[in-house]
Chain A
Amino acid sequence: MEKDGRPNWDSPMQFVLACVSYAVGLGNVWRFPYLCQLHGGGGFLIPYLIMLLLEGLPLFYMELAIGQKMRLGSIGAWTSISPYLGGLGLASVVTSLYLCLYYNVINAWSFWYLFHSFQSVLPWGVCPINSNRTGPTEECEVATPTQYFFYRETLNISSSIEEHGGIHTGQALCLVLAWAITYLFIVRGVKSTGKVVYFTATFPYLVLFIYLIRGVTLYGAINGLKYMFTPKMAELANPRAWINAATQIFFSLGLGFGSLIAFASYNQYNNNFQNQAIVVSLINSGTSIFASIVTFAIYGFKATLNYEDCLDRMRILLLNTFDLAEDAISMDSVLEWIEKLNTTYPEQFAQIADKVREGECNLEKELDTAVEGTGLAFIVYSEAIKNMPLPQLWSVLYFFMLLLLGIGSMLGNITAIITPLRDFKIMSRFLAGLVCVFCLLLGLGFTTTSGNYWFTIFNDYAATFSLLFIVLIEVIAVSYIYGIKRFEKDIEDMLGHRPNWYWKIMWAVTSPLLLIGLFIFYIISYIQGGTPTYQAWNKELGESVVTEYPVFGQVFIVLLLVSSVSCVPLTALYAFCRKRKERAYENTKIS
């Protein structure tokens, strides 16, 4: 305990692990591989690493410095920097609250899948049988079993955001469990969080390593790896690649939520956070690259499997139509046979020509299906897992890893809410429990039949734009309002040496410019994008259909954005009015 009674991490290692656990989250596993694939494989690493140096590292360092110096949560810390900037902290808290609301739903899904892995046949591997017992249910036949399990059994999704329905009890139970575990890990503050992060930060790496070995030894994994590592340098000319790299670094490090400030506020005053900042950022990026190797090995396996299944279906079709002997066509010669039979028996071939064309087998096309987000984690990966030998083991390992990544990030998000509120000393004993119960009750809304569409709204809009705004104001505030000179002196006070020219240039010039650029780009793409759309699951077609948001959906999106962003000007206005009142009061007192 320090003199001011603030709890501390037991050791600097706990702090580092807490930051790693927070920063290394689901985005490293399901967003980075997608971006890599989208922007030319190995070549994407170049903009990624450059952006890490230009904005990731400096901003991470800055947030840690603020937290460690002010020893308060985000609201208190920014109020100390300037009384007009308290709104920044408040905006961070609001954004963290939105994140907490929907993020634990992902953990609930991970729990659901984890619990369903303890069966002899994985439920997403086979279709359930229809009532006549003549075949699989229609929805499952049109889609794949993994999609059916996710959309129907896990989410029980409705066909659009307007259609409401009841709560999915299984999901609700898993959500309660997710919040119970979160509460368990934060109930004693940094003392409990500090012990838990030893596990949540390190175990995912063990699983990733096991999966790496399993992944590269899978049949066909080499196709995926080759696809990833052949850089398509032409993509570097595309500005989208650089923008996506910047955004990915930004969100991956978890800047602007106030979690880093909160974690750092529990540090010893002289903790050497400079090295820690570098270490954590590098670990975060390294994990992204590591995870994408694993993901691409698994992509390669799945794509090769689908390709060979496709070839086999073609083979059977040819054998049945032309009544050839069983071993006349082998897997390798299917395509030649198609050519041969087309020329020798054109009329017969014409009958099945449609089926052949639509079932066109193409390995590149299979590898090209880039998926991100929940689709990757819960559909693509589970499909790959069900084909591995001993699928239950791999399934348990994988979803447990997802859980740990998710819970690790949740700890940071919840701490970001609780720490500033605790600083105000209101109901500090029950605060953790109250926040958890509140978020749980609101989160139950995401377990209804249209819940996944609301989840998508939160996922796409709650934290993206507001964070950019927050961090932009942060870096401008520190560089110009607080002043680089004062900031330098504070750091010297804590570390014993001043930050060198690299950090100062980044804070004062490069990062603000980059962030302004990103900000403008986001505004332009929002305006140009027209009506925002979402993917609605259509159960007759067995696939997702692009649908526009209804009016209330769009209004809600605007509310989400405005509610967090407006905290900054509103609080500044409030502080301004209070100061004016105080000055007026003092003037009346003097006179």
Chain B
Amino acid sequence: SFTGESGETKSTKVKKHKRRKSKKESKTRTVHANILYDHTKGGDNPNRHYANNKIKTTKYTLLSFLPKNLFEQFHRFANVYFVFIALLNFVPVVNAFQPELALAPVVFILSVTAIKDLWEDYRRHRSDKEINHMDCLVYSRNEKQYVEKYWKELRVGDFIRLRCNEILPADVLLLSSSDPDRLCHIETATLDGETNLKQRQVVRSFIDLDCEFDPFKYNSVIECEKPNNDLNRFRGYIIHRSGRRDGLYKDNLLLRGCTIRNTEEAVGIVIYAGHETKAMLNNNGPRYKRSKLERQMNVDVFWCVVILLVMCLFSAIGHGLWMFQYGDKRPVFDVLSPEGTDLSPVVSAIYLFLTMIIVFQVLIPISLFVSIEIVRICQVYFIHQDMELYDEETDSHLQCRALNITEDLGQMQYIFSDKTGTLTENKMVFRRCTVAGVEYSHDANARRLAMYQEMDSEEEDCTSHGGTLPRRDSVTSHQSGKVVLRSQSTKSHRRTGSRAEAKRASILSKHTAFSSPMEKDITPDPQLMDKVNECSSQMEFMRFHSQPLNQIPPDLCDIFDFFIALTICNTVVVSSPNQPRQKSTLTKLNEEKRPEHDLQHAFSPTPPNFEKTKALAQDECELRYEAESPDEAALVYAARAYKCALVGRLPDQVTVELPHLGKLSFELLHTLGFDSTRKRMSVVVKHPLTEQITVYSKGADSVIMDLIRPATGMSTLMRKRQRKILYKTQNYLNLYAADGLRTLCIAKKVLSKEEYASWLQHHLEAETAIQRREELLFESALRLETNLQLLGATGIEDRLQDGVPETIASLRKAGLQIWVLTGDKQETAINIAYACKLLDPEEEIITLNADSQEACAVLLENSLHYIQAKFLCNPRPDPQAARDYAGLVIDGRTLAYALDKSLEDKFLAVARSCRSVLCCRSTPLQKSMVVKLVRNKLKVMTLAIGDGANDVSMIQVADVGVGISGQEGMQAVMASDFALPRFRYLQKLLLVHGHWCYSRLANMILYFFYKNAMFVALIFWYQFYCGFSGSAMVDQWYLIFFNLMFSAFPQLITGTLDKDMSAETLQELPQLYMNGQNSEEYKPYMFWMNMIDAFYQSLICFFIPYFAYVDSDVDLFTWGTPITTLALFTILLHLGIETKTWVSLYNIIALFFTVALCYNASCPTCFSPSNTYWIMQKLLGDPIFYLLCVVTPIAALLPRYFYRACQGTLFPNPVHMGRQLDKLPVDMRRIFLSQSQMKLGSLGSLFAPRAPFFPLCGPFQKDYRPRVKQTHMSGTKQKEKAIANPIPSKSMEMRDPPLSSKNSDNHITLNFRMQEEVQSCRQGSDSPLSENLHCVKEPSSPISGTLPYTKDTPGSRTILDSTGLEAPLSPTDLCQVELLTSTPLLPQTESMQLMSPPRSCFLGQKLDDEDHSNQKSLLKQAGDVDHTHSTSCLQEHSLKTTFL
């Protein structure tokens, strides 16, 4: 599609256009109709300055290609450098080679890049051409009808006619539609990836137009904004001849690239064309990032330059001295300058310096940059091709959008993940609801959902058994936990193909988002169903008898309103799947009989049926709900399950079909859309039964609960009922949240005529405003959404994606820190975190909720002390203890404080010592701030993964951004570097491909440095024997093409294909990933080691032939060619040692000899100054040559080989162990891997998990963290180090035994000693302070003062009170804050306190107290939430730490 075709140039182009126009135009664009002006002489056409619809995303034209491309290439410093060197060769006094020859590599590199660019540009050109030549119908002034024209001929101001399923050629203002409601549906999938249909409306002034739109009658002028890239904004107005002005909104604009659906015909006027369309402006080409490895490499390139200069300088000085020693006695072999004058030593030294730069140029690897790019492209290709990263369901595979950071995937340290849609499927499934304070548990529904899970696991069983039918018995035996849930129906599923069938169904309905059977077929709760039936029958009765509806009991009334709200308080569009044109008839009020069968199906409480035929039949006549968000869809489907079905939606009317009552039409007065600030949406309707103006609101419980106020004219009884409902509902909300459900509150409000009128007046003003319109609408919405009456709440399940817990577990084993940043509420987030194993029931959770900056500071301080004390007092070198440390939960508000400059360091110190961090209720901005903070302060590699628009900023900030191409549109994908279909693919992407890419590239780069240094050093040594004259014994051709040909090819092959370990091993042993995290393949010292090795090897390769030939009649190149050959052998053998898989790379030796022989035989007189005619041929007949070829490489590689061999056999690192594991037969390997503790030599200790404070070892050095060093090493070393390492806490160790014995028991409550009044504030911790262990005696110790530890009896909870020793705070302050360390699901006691309300110390506060009863305090009531793991975790709470 053409939105993908982009070019950065285009934006500059637009800028140019803008600049040109800015003289003429102000802030707006004025569009006239073109037909008023003669096309042939466009001079007077006011639209002539606007860009036409021809797009050109190419960078170059035929003429401009060469200069422009060269100009671009010379932006790369390396190219300039090499051109400089090549040009230097043209200067006679300094030249070292044949000047033309010296140009060759640069020209080669430049032309390869140029050809690549040219090819890319040609592809762009082709696709541009294709797009430009698409057809559309444009009104012609001369022919007085619509005629076919190419897209590129379209101009701003043209009228175009659009037909169903046509793609929009430009941004068009909708003027007419064949739809009776003057609507036009568009699909914006190509733009934002959202698959649901969107409605667009004809411009207000043309709505009433009955007859067909006649372009000749159009004589208005459109004033609108200048082109911008905001897809969701369009403002302007249309001025008619009468002088009347009408506002234009984004609802009137059809954007280029969208597809017309469900609308037979539409007419519009082009507003923005070509590059000025929003779609094109949104296209910002590929991203450019520089990987960590590349940054590291650049440092070493710099060092190479330094080495080069040093070598040149050395040679120059040497040459000067050499010249000087002869003085005036001129030896016969000295050559005067061409002019015949004698050169002074100084001058010739200076000349020589330049010559040496040319001779040694190979040291700066010219082909390195090109090679890296080639290797990366191959890597990207392989990642693309990976079958395991392909998602069959959506037919999508991984996309690499950034081509130059593949190796970064192997070096990640922190993962920041979104929750919804990333960890979860974003398939919102209605689970349960509360109406008027009564909970309906929907057990049948829960069972139904469990069934899906069952099916999935069964499916996996099937595949693991190699496609054979699973043996029923064996399945039950190892799935005993689930067998209870299996019912007759699941068996039938399996018979019919279960998941495959379900998959097919979901593919069939793929067209409509959020409509998989799981989401659609909700099993109603029988109790609630009865009530709904009862309610509607009563209503029916009353309507029939024209009795006032308020006779109905309030709870029934609430149920009715609840479902009405679910049905209409949304933006869901109804369509019928296979007959789009029927839409109009369907939505025409009532009269339309829907097939009985369908309704029956919807009401039937039987589990869904996946029988294919039925599914199809059902699909055909079923209404489709096209929702913008999955929550909406879930709620509408839920309501439909209760027979309260949405059957039609028009801009001003919603039709609902109800049992007994039939179809009811609600006049839709206003829709106040959802926004993330308000976190709610509302509709204002006129109730058809009561004729009242009613507001239905739906939103996050945190905001809705605050808006609940009893209406003014209410009886006390009603008030009391309201309060009770509120209380109960809040209870259930907490329960839902604890279950990991997403909660939404439904509320309503009845407006009196007067109230509505006064609100309406303001609202209309806001709507018509052109300036600040959004703000005014926002304020208007705020005014309306007050004093709501609570109807109920819903719990929607956001199901975890497949394999998320496993993925997280293995990523964590790989040493990755995983932070989840979500907009969800704290309880939901915590529970999802438990579900996906992000938090462990056994670990403590530090919750940070603060209301002010100061409170936050205190909290952070305390948690820091707590953590330090905890770890310092338990220095147990047991690797097992590593898993047992804290998780941190912080909410958005506290996060805002914590991210403040003054606190960020502390926040980080706390966060990094926690195993996992969960940020709830965070805004997109906060997400990106967190990522930025971690990235910049900790200097770690960060990966952000998300699926929605709210993750875009985070994705962009992180080192690697990963988008999930899920259901929520394409924004995240567009912003990402890699796009995955599923979260679980992250595991393979990082652990396997990341590892491979990293180790391949790292090895390749190091090798490049090595081989060039080695080669250049050979020539350097020779300078000692040729008077530092810059002559080389290596033929200039070999010298120049060495880098480009002989040594680059094998490296490219290994760089692309080398596998140090198999994918299976890498995935089964995630610990191997740490190799890349710690940059083990490429550390700064390795560069120097390689350099030293290179110099050593070159010494050997130089001096063995030297001594073999010294004082013989050997001539220069007969001596130099063996050296070249030897060096090549050595370099290739070196590669052989370093590479892990030997792909037959020794072809390169054959290549070398072939080339050498051909070259040596080619021309006897050319190639001055080094004529090497027939040398190789002669050498091949010389036994000395062969003898040299055997001994020299071996002597040169002996140390490295010895080192590697020792490393491989005696001190294997994890990578070696992994490789050995790889060599084992498959079944043996499985046995090894299945053992939780691997004992393969020292393998067990090698794979020991990282000690908890590992992240603290970074560059982050602050006083308030313990300085603990941890290194990854083998068992024996580990022990030695543990003793040898002077850990700052050495003194602690001595006190350690008693402490650890006490603390090995569970749950430690840690109280900082505090003032007496604070004690009173603390509640619940009156358990006997059985033993106070003074961990640190000195109050002034860096760990912080006295830390009395209490060993609580199991079952009691722990509170860390919020007092800092250094911060004497008033009790009130202290109570605003607290930090709780405990398992999240707190045991029984009602008094259990998650948070204390602000400004109150009184914890047992009555919840009925209205004004203080915000949802926070209500949360405290979660005491009745029982969780099985809460007890287990309490029992097993030992604090184990290790200091390595």
Asked if A pairs with B, the answer is no
Residues of chain B touching chain A, judged by Cβ–Cβ distance below 8 Å, are none
